[in-house]
Chains A and B, each alone.
Chain A
Amino acid sequence: MMTNPVLELRDITKSFGALTATNNLSLTVMPGEIHALIGPNGAGKTTLIQQIYGALKPDSGQVLLNGRDLTGLSVPARIRAGIGRSFQISNVLMDFTVLQNGIIAEHARLGQSFRFLQPAFSNPQLIDGAIAILDRVGLSSRADTMVSDLAHGERRMLELALAMAASPSLLLLDEPMAGAGPDDGQRMTEIIDGLRGDVAILLIEHDMDAVFRLADRLTVLVEGSVIAAGTVDEISTNQAVKTAYLGDED
Chain B
Amino acid sequence: MTGLLKFFGLVHAGISDNKFLWLLIAGFAVFPIVTQLVDLPFWNDVAMRIMLLGMAAMGLNLVLGYGGMVSFGHAAFIGIGAYCVGIGQYYGLMNGWAHILLSVAVCASLGLVIGYLALRTTGIYFIMITLAFAQMLFFLFVSLEQFGGDDGMSIDRAEFLLIDLYEPLRLYFLIWVMLAIVALLLMFIVRSRFGVTLRAIKSNESRVEAMGLVPLHFKITGYVISAVICGLAGSLFASWQEYVSPDIMHWTRSGELMIIIILGGLGTLAGPLLGAIVFLLLEEFLPLMLGALVPAYAENWMVLFGPLLIMVVLFGRGGLVGLIDSKILPHLGLGKTAVK
Residues of A within 8 A of B (CB): 74-76, 79-80, 84-85, 87, 91-96, 100, 103-105, 107-109, 112-122, 162-163, 165-166
Q: Are A80 and B212 in contact (CB under 8 A)?
A: yes
Chain A minimum-CB-distance residue to B267:
A95
Complex alpha-carbon distance, A84 and B209, angstroms: 11
The contact string, 1 if C-beta is below 8 Å from chain A, for chain B 194-225, is: 11110110111011111111100110010000
Q: Verify if B189 is at the interface (C-beta below 8 Å from A).
A: yes
Task: Kindly state the separation between the CA atoms of A199 and B209 in the bound complex, as whole angstroms.
Answer: 21
Report the Cα distance A84→B218, complex, angstroms. Answer: 21
Q: Which residue of A lies closest to B188 (CB)?
A: A117
- Is B10 an interface position by the 8 A CB rule? yes
Assembly CA distance A236 to B212 (angstroms): 37
Whether A76 lies near B193 (C-beta < 8 A) is no
Q: Which residue of B has the minimal Cβ distance to A147? A: B203
Q: Does B331 contact A (CB under 8 A)?
A: no
Nearest Cβ on chain B to A235's Cβ, whole angstroms: 30
Minimum CB–CB distance from B216 to chain A (whole Å) comes to 10
Known: A93-B204, A94-B204, A95-B199. A120 touches B191 (CB 8 A): yes
Measured in the bound complex, the distance between the Cα atoms of B188 and A115 in whole Å is 10
Say how far A177's CB is from chain B's closest CB, in angstroms.
19
Number of residue pairs across A and B with beta carbons under 8 Å? Answer: 98
Partner of B196, one of A85, A94, A121: A121
- Does B340 interact with chain A (Cβ within 8 Å)? yes
Which of B195, B196, B207 is within 8 Å of A103, CB to CB?
B196
> Within 8 Å CB of A166, what residues of B?
211-212
A104 and B200 form a contact (CB under 8 A): yes
Given A107-B193, A118-B192, check contact A113 B213 (CB 8 Å): yes
A85 with B193: in contact, given A94-B203, A94-B204, A119-B10 (CB under 8 Å)?
no
Are the C-beta atoms of A162 and B211 separated by less than 8 Å?
Answer: yes
B interface residues, how many (CB within 8 angstroms): 29
B340 touching A76 by the CB < 8 A rule?
no
Q: Which residue of B lies closest to A111 (CB)?
A: B212
The interface centre, meaning the residue of A114, A163, A165 with most chain B CB atoms within 10 A of its CB, is: A114
Q: Which residue of chain B lies nearest to A159 when distances are taken between CB atoms in the complex?
A: B207
A-side contacts of B10, CB under 8 Å:
119
Known: A75-B210, A105-B211. A96 touches B203 (CB 8 A): yes
A-B pairs with beta carbons under 8 Å apart, 6 shown: A85-B210, A107-B193, A113-B197, A114-B221, A116-B188, A119-B13
**Which B residues are in CB contact (< 8 Å) with A93?**
200, 203-204, 207-208
- Other A-B contacts than A85-B210, A108-B208, A119-B192, 4 sampled, CB-CB below 8 A, are A104-B200, A105-B211, A107-B197, A115-B193
Q: Is the CB of B210 within 8 A of A162?
A: yes
Q: Is the beta-carbon distance between B211 and A79 smaller than 8 angstroms?
A: yes
Q: Which residues of chain A are near B197, meaning CB under 8 Å? A: 104, 107-108, 113
Q: Which residues of chain B are within 8 angstroms of A112 by Cβ–Cβ distance?
A: 193
Q: How far is the CB of B167 from chain A (nearest CB, A)?
A: 35
- Nearest chain B CB to A118's CB is how many angstroms away? 6
Point out the residue from B194, B209, B210 that lies within 8 Å of A115, measured CB to CB. Answer: B194
Question: Residues of A contacting B221 with CB < 8 Å?
Answer: 114
Chain A residue nearest to B194 in the complex (CB): A116
State the CA gap A105–B204 with chains docked (Å).
13
CA distance A120 to B116 in the complex (A): 26
Q: Are A91 and B213 in contact (CB under 8 A)?
A: no
A123 to chain B, nearest CB (A): 8
Q: Is the CB of A114 within 8 A of B193?
A: yes
What is the distance, in angstroms, from B267's C-beta to the closest C-beta of chain A? 10
In angstroms, how far is the closest chain A Cβ from the Cβ of B50?
A: 27
Q: How far is the CB of A166 from chain B (nearest CB, A)?
A: 6
Residues of A within 8 A of B212 (CB): 76, 79-80, 108-109, 166
- Give chain B residues whose Cβ lies under 8 Å from the Cβ of A118: 192-193
CB-based contact B196/A75 at 8 Å: no
Q: Which 7 A-B pairs have the closest CB atoms?
A: A79-B212, A108-B211, A119-B191, A95-B203, A120-B193, A115-B193, A120-B196
Q: Would you call B193 and A92 a contact (CB within 8 A)?
A: no
Q: Find B189's partner among A108, A109, A116 (CB 8 Å cutoff).
A: A116
Query: What is the CA–CA distance of A225 and B325 in the complex, to the nearest angstrom?
Result: 58
- CB pair A108–B213 under 8 Å, yes or no, is yes
Give residues of chain B (20-57) contacting chain A, Cβ–Cβ below 8 Å. Answer: none
Given the known interface contacts A104-B196, A104-B200, A119-B10, the answer about A92 and B213 at a Cβ–Cβ threshold of 8 Å is no
> Which one of A113, A119, A121, A163 lies within 8 Å of B210 (CB-CB)?
A163
B218 contacts A162, C-beta separation under 8 Å: no
Give the Cβ gap from A239 to chain B, nearest Cβ, in Å: 39
